[in-house]
Amino acid sequence: MKNLWCVLLFLLVVSHAVAGDDWDPNEAEELLQTKWDVIASVLRNKDLDQKAKASQIDKIIDPIFDFALMGKLALGRKHWPKLTLEEREKFTQLFTKRLKVSYTEKIKLYTDEKAILKPAIQKKKAVHIPMELIGKEKKVVILYKLHHRDKYWKIYDVEIQGVSILLTYRSQFDDILSHSSVGDLLSQLEESQTR
């Protein structure tokens, strides 16, 4: 009887793990398309000033970005393990705020370009979704990288014209931390947000 319970427990765990990995990359594409359509309508709304637009965009993007993972990846294996729990929380909070401001500023450059999402490309347990913003004079290529976490798709990196936001920040943070302390990095992040 004990062996039967062990087998049943094992089968339950295995079936749950398989079901948990059974996600559809097209769901990520649909999510991104829906969010982008809403963001574009906010940006086109002439009744909203820039501050109101930024506030609405923040509410739209907040649930689909994995800011905690982005912070961890931005510091990388070299620096993240060295931070205390309090430093990790503070860094994640400051880094999240910085990312939101940066993303909102880049999105404000949108001037009614046509956004074309390409089919999702599965990369192991992640999905990459290319998007092109086509304007009158130029085309901007964006690559959204998503992973499936807690039953939801979350963006963990964005590449603009082939340049990863996370790798750019990692390079900056690595440079700062090679000459300064974690406290100095946190101070610089705080100062950049008061300007």
pLDDT, tens only, 168-187: 999 999 999 999 999 999 99
pLDDT of residue 171: 95
What's the mean pLDDT when you consider all of the chain? 83
Q: Name the region of 70 (left: φ>0; alpha: ψ -120 to 50; beta: rest).
A: alpha
Q: Which fold has domain 25-194?
A: Nuclear Transport Factor 2; Chain: A, (3.10.450)
pTM: 0.81
pLDDT of residue 33: 92
- List of residues 6+ apart from 114 with CB closer than 8 A: 133, 134, 135
